[in-house]
Amino acid sequence: MTDINISSKEIDGMGPRGTKVGLLRVLGPAHVWALGVGIVLVGEYMGWNFAVGKGGAYAALIACWFAGLLYTCVAMIDSEVTSTVAAAGGQYTQAKHIVGPLMAFNVGLYLVFAYTMLEAANAITIGFLVDSVANMTGHTGLDQRPFIVLSIMFLAWLNYRGVLATLTFSLVITAFAFVAVIVLFLATSGLTGASPLHHTDLLTGLPYGWVGVLAAMHFGLWYYLGIEGTTQAAEEVRSPARSLPFGTLAGIMTLLIAATLTWYVAAGLMPWEYLGQAGVPLFDAARLSGSTFLMVLLGIGTLFATLASANGCINDASRAWFAMGRDHYLPSWFGAVHPHYRTPFRSIVFLIPIALIFALGAPLDQVITFSILSGLLEYTFMPINMILYDPVPAEMAA
Amino acid sequence: MDLWTVLEYAAWGASVLFGLYILYDWFVTNSRYSEEVLTSSREGELEAMTEQQKN
């Protein structure tokens, strides 16, 4: 390719078949872990406990482990397929190569909707959390909008500036939020003194029988929903065949541990009737432990988990949108890469106003429903994808 | 004016700054580089770039 100057210092990076600027391969397994766990961990801090309201604490535990089994399969599918289809777009790119263009287009749109709506939901939650802190200090009537807008604009700016800083930030705050769950468990388990947990009194069987277990199932997804987002980093990891399986499977293990510990602590501190309706159950558990340190730790953990989720969502939605633009499923204008920051900058900017409109103008429950429905539609493609997936193409096997 | 009111104004101000930075850089980048360069990324062509960066 004589028309390509591979020694250029102005535009660092020249590919052999026309790529002059592309996404930067700088990520390792820890960043993949942070991307997957970061999107999900907020589900441990809030949301999962509605399963308790549907069928009691034991039903929530059954839902937690059954959903964990299903999501372990999701993690293994993504680990295997994406390490061989290592390109931005994740499930969209898998569908393009394995199923066909129509499925790819639909999956791509589901991905963008799921992540952009989840970003908006996280921003709304950040506004709520700041308002809660203001209320605790005696200030009432806080305007949540500037904090909602700031969370989206700051994270969009971070994503615009580069993927390494973005996911390193996610790594730090996600690790903090995970460690906070571990500390809460250790502090309340009785290992370091008297335990405030009362499982014997609070675990009262299945109040609605096995129908309650069935009703609890869909909230069991909250413990893990989003781990499949690790695949969006496929084009930016240094070693896809190593980093993607390592980061994704470490991520699902982390979530299984965090989910079980979260259930154990919360179910031992709150009666199921209260826990099933709590807005921030882990923070409430910390308050009930009677420790100011734990209360502050879990309060910061809740905020960090929410920020990490929004951060990962911006990253993933923009990669899916970018990949669709690059493949001409959308205007190719969206397939642009920033020559200096090496990020899909037009896709990041384009999705900002959409997230802002939904975060400022739509109710939280509708935004979350929009996100989860898009995610579930995306999941319907995965078994088809796995059945059609051929790790050794016929022409190579012959 | 209490602390939370100040924080509200600070959050609006910081949001505007982040937005202006993004818009300014977006405009400059679109002006400075051709569409051919900006949209030249192709799937599966990054390995050679990685090798180039190592050198």
pLDDT for A263-272, tens place per residue?
999 999 999 9
Distance of alpha carbon A81 from alpha carbon A391, whole angstroms: 8
Residue A237: beta bridge partners? A27
Inside any domain, residue A279? yes
Comparing CA positions, the residue from A376, A154, A74 lying closest to residue B13 is: A154
Closest-CA distance of chain A to residue B24, Å: 12
Q: What percent of chain A has pLDDT over 70?
A: 93
- Is A328 an interface residue toward B (CB < 8 Å)? no
pLDDT per position as a tens digit, B26-54: 999 999 999 999 998 888 765 555 555 55
pLDDT score, position B8: 97
**pLDDT higher than threshold 70 for residue A5:** no
Burial of A100 (0-12, 13-18, 19+ CB in 10 A): exposed
CA of residue A241 relative to chain centroid, distance: 21
Instruction: Kindly report the nearest CA distance between residue B32 and chain A, in angstroms.
Output: 10
* A379 token code pair: 């999941």
Q: Give Cβ neighbours of residue A203 (< 8 Å, ≥ 6 apart).
A: A57, A58, A267
Our count of domains for chain A comes to: 1
Q: Do B12 and A149 count as a contact with CB atoms less than 8 A apart? A: yes
HSE-up (13 A, CA, CB side) for residue A225: 27
| Alpha-carbon span A118 to A319, nearest angstrom | 15
pLDDT of residue A389: 84
User: Cβ separation of B41 and A93 shorter than 8 Å?
Assistant: no
Structure token digits, residue A90: 């994740």
Distances from the Cα of A84 to the Cα of A14, A317, B47, angstroms: 23, 21, 14
Mutation target among A4, A11, A21 for the B interface, most CBs of B within 10 A: A21
Residue A6: pLDDT above 60?
Answer: no
- Is A4 inside any structural domain? no
> For B3-22, how does the pLDDT look when each residue is reduced to its tens digit (9 = 90+)?
999 999 999 999 999 999 99
Range of the domain at B41: 3-54
A393's enclosing H/E stretch is none
Distance between start and end Cα atoms, chain B? 57
- Of the pLDDT bands very low, low, confident and very high (cuts 50, 70, 90), residue A385 is confident
Residues of A in contact with B18 (CB under 8 A): 150, 153-154, 156-157
3-state secondary structure of A237: strand
Contact B49 A14 (CB under 8 A): yes
- Asked whether the beta carbons of residue A323 and residue B43 sit closer than 8 angstroms, the reply is yes
Backbone angles phi, psi at A237, to 5 degrees: -90, 150
Our CA-based measurement puts residue B34 at a distance from the nearest CA of chain A, in whole angstroms, of 10
From residue A260, alpha-carbon distances to A255, A303, A335, A352 in Å are 8, 21, 41, 35
| Chain A residues near residue B29 by CB distance under 8 angstroms | 338-340, 345
Total of domains in chain B: 1
Q: How far is B4 from chain A (nearest CA, A)?
A: 7
Of B4, B37, B50, the CB nearest to A339: B37
For A335, the closest chain B residue by CA position comes to B39
pTM for this model (two decimals): 0.90
Which of B26, B29, B43 is the closest to A339 by Cβ? B29
> How far is it, in rounded angstroms, from Cα A284 to Cα A142?
22
- What residues in A contact B53, CB-CB < 8 Å? 12-13
Average pLDDT, chain A: 90
Checking if the pLDDT of A70 tops 80, the result is: yes
Confidence of residue A83 (pLDDT cuts 50, 70, 90): confident
Q: Which of A339, A336, A362, A330 is nearest to A348 (CA)?
A: A336
Could you report the predicted ipTM of this complex, rounded to two decimals? 0.87
CATH code, domain with A60? 1.20.1740.10
List the helix and strand counts (H, then E) for chain A: 17, 0
Q: Does position A338 have pLDDT exceeding 90, yes or no?
A: yes
**Which residues constitute the domain of residue A74?**
29-380
Q: Give residue A255's pLDDT.
A: 96
Distance in angstroms (rounded) separating the CA atoms of residues A276 and A55: 9
- Amino acid A392: pLDDT: 62
Between chains, do A146 and B9 touch, taking CB under 8 Å as contact?
yes
The token pair that represents A72 in the structure block: 């372990």
Going by pLDDT thresholds of 50, 70 and 90, the confidence category of residue A10 is very low
- For the cut 70, the answer to whether the pLDDT of residue A3 exceeds it is no
- For residue A78, being part of any structural domain is answered with yes
Asked if residues A215 and A55 have their Cβ atoms less than 8 Å apart, the reply is: yes
C-alpha A77/C-alpha A119 separation (Å) is 25
Q: How many CA atoms lie within 13 A of A319 on its CB side?
A: 32
Helices A57-82, A209-220: axis angle to 10 degrees equals 40
A350 CB within 8 Å of a chain B CB: no
| Residue A18 belongs to a domain | no
